[in-house]
Amino acid sequence: MVKKLRPQNYNEVLYVGHFFRKGLPVLMDLSDLSEDEAKQLVDFATGLVFARRGSLDRVDRRLFLLQP
């Protein structure tokens, strides 16, 4: 099961981390964020996947797939 999340602000990155940490792939849709917030979430996600040797793929301009 892939968890689909569409964060509405920077703090909601915690949900992304929460499901990823549980071992679920997360499809992160950043369409509702400003350019700056979107960049922050991508940097957070980069650290998240690095820590667990997972992968981060950009599937569309504002859509990223994190895999544990």
Residues that bind its own copies (CB under 8 A): 13-14, 17, 20-21, 39-40, 43-53
| 56 vs 63, beta carbon nearer its own copies | 56
> How near is the Cβ of 18 to its own copies at its closest, in Å?
9
> How near is the Cβ of 59 to its own copies at its closest, in Å?
19
| 2 vs 50, beta carbon nearer its own copies | 50
Contact assessment for residue 3 and residue 27, using Cβ atoms and an 8 Å cutoff? yes
